[in-house]
Amino acid sequence: MSPVIEIAVQHRLGQFELDAAFTSTGRLTALFGRSGAGKTSLVNIVSGLIAPTQGRVVVDGKVLVDTQAGIFVPVHERRIGYVFQEARLFPHLSVRRNLLFGRWFSPRDARTISNLEGVLDLLGIAHLLERRPGALSGGEKQRVAIGRALLANPRLLLMDEPLASLDEARKAEILPYIERLRDETGVPIVYVSHSVTEVARLATTLVTVDQGRVTACGPTAEVMSRLDVAGLSGAAEAGSIIEGRVAGHDEAYGLTTLATRAGLLHVARSMMPIGATVRVRILASDVLISLTSPVGVSALNILPGTIAGIGARRPGGAVELLIDCGGESLLARLTAKSVDTLGLAKGVTVHAVIKSVSIDAP
């Protein structure tokens, strides 16, 4: 598969030095890292709002920046949509006219009625057309902002912390629309976030950024399970992603069974139909480790595996373990005392114990 985006740039902003390079073929590439890591600087270089000191940017096969060759495509010629943290809608225009403003930037042969109707359906905003931004919720404003960007027929969509200003209810409202955007439009997305939850749910490719450098790039599940990345997400949010197929629902107990490479996984009741592919995140702090298969425990998920790696001891005495469960990577956080008491080391066979109530499924 050809790369959707290729970046290798260097730039200096005051005392901050950006020296970052990555290549992604994913439908949604997430730039993940702490505030001030350089994520927004990277997307501003892609959009053309910042001209790098040196380097090269290629999007969908088109060279946008090549300092060595003297190439710098102007912002208005890049065909890149940009959705910011704030919706930035025109307050004096209706939703319809805000959307049509985006279509004005689209190539003439792409300005069709069906194009507009498709965006309205995709984002569920047809009923908002005659309203003005002041009468919209935060989630509705962001959906309109996304629609306006899509109607410009972009070759790439940049989304810089688009949910950061929304409360949890509005985030839950808009996440399914971003999933549809990722899966149905064919427009590649670069998504900036410092939220592990958003990245785990949305990203197909994960790029971690720290102090102006790219520290990891690859499939999201692989990158999030790396021991060196666990610290970047913070102790409370470090965890793993496991993908599985919905094998059945237990209506009596409100559970769903997923068939995964690690084995059957029982999770909280999912709304997805049988046969659907589901991605779940398991926090490292929710995983217990046993040397033998435990009996007489309440947890429904007991996954056999082998210790593939042990991270460095953290301040406070916590240690992350990487467990290989049938080809799935699972992170567990234990105390250093537990690691020593059980004699845990690379290659030791263990059983990972996970409560079903700690795993949420879409």
pLDDT per position as a tens digit, 196-242:
889 999 999 999 999 999 999 999 999 988 888 876 666 567 899 99
* pLDDT value, residue 226: 87
pLDDT per position as a tens digit, 131-158:
999 999 999 999 999 999 998 888 899 9
Residues in the chain: 362
Chain centre distance of CA 59: 19
Residues 6+ apart with CB under 8 A from 234: 196
Q: What is the mean pLDDT of residues 296-315?
A: 93
Q: What is the mean pLDDT of residues 312-326?
A: 90
Which tops the pLDDT comparison, 104 or 99?
99
Using an 8 Å Cβ cutoff, are 336 and 318 in contact?
yes
pLDDT per position as a tens digit, 151-203:
888 889 999 999 988 888 888 888 999 999 999 888 999 999 988 889 999 99
Nearest to 131 by CA among 100, 95, 105: 95
pLDDT band at 35 (very low <50, low <70, confident <90, very high): confident
* pLDDT value, residue 232: 66
Other C-beta atoms closer than 10 Å to the C-beta of 17 total 14
Q: Considering the entire predicted model, what is its pTM?
A: 0.86
Q: Give the whole-angstrom CA distance, residue 144 versus residue 126.
A: 10
Nearest to 181 by CA among 159, 212, 207, 213: 159
What residues pair up with 71 in beta bridges, in sequence order?
A: 66
Sort residue 191 into left (φ over 0), alpha (ψ -120 to 50) or beta. Answer: beta
Chain centre distance of CA 186: 17
* pLDDT value, residue 173: 86
DSSP string covering 292-361, please?
A: S---S-S-SEEEEEEEEEE-PPPTTSEEEEEEEETTEEEEEEEEHHHHHHHT--TT-EEEEEE-GGG---
Residue type present at position 60: D
Crossing angle of helices 138-150 and 95-103, rounded to 10° = 30
* pLDDT value, residue 4: 85
* pLDDT value, residue 340: 96
Residue type present at position 200: A
Using an 8 Å Cβ cutoff, are 155 and 79 in contact?
yes
Q: What is the mean pLDDT of residues 22-27?
A: 94
| Mean per-residue pLDDT of the chain | 90
pLDDT band at 95 (very low <50, low <70, confident <90, very high): very high
Q: Give the whole-angstrom CA distance, residue 276 versus residue 294.
A: 31
Residues 6+ apart with CB under 8 A from 253: none
Using an 8 Å Cβ cutoff, are 352 and 323 in contact?
yes
Of 61-65, 110-114, 226-230, the range with the lowest mean pLDDT is 110-114
Q: What is the mean pLDDT of residues 251-271?
A: 94
Of 100-114, 119-133, 142-156, 293-307, the range with the lowest mean pLDDT is 100-114
Using an 8 Å Cβ cutoff, are 265 and 281 in contact?
no
**Percentage of the chain modeled with pLDDT above 70:** 94
Domains of the chain, earliest start first: 5-224 (3.40.50.300), 239-358 (2.40.50.100)
Q: Is 194 exposed, middle or buried (0-12, 13-18, 19+ CB in 10 A)?
A: buried
Q: Give the whole-angstrom CA distance, residue 98 versus residue 153.
A: 15
Whether 113 shows a pLDDT value over 50: the answer reads no
Q: Give the whole-angstrom CA distance, residue 270 versus residue 353.
A: 21
The SS3 assignment for 72 reads strand
* pLDDT value, residue 114: 43
Q: Give the whole-angstrom CA distance, residue 189 versus residue 71.
A: 23
Q: Give the whole-angstrom CA distance, residue 108 versus residue 104.
A: 8
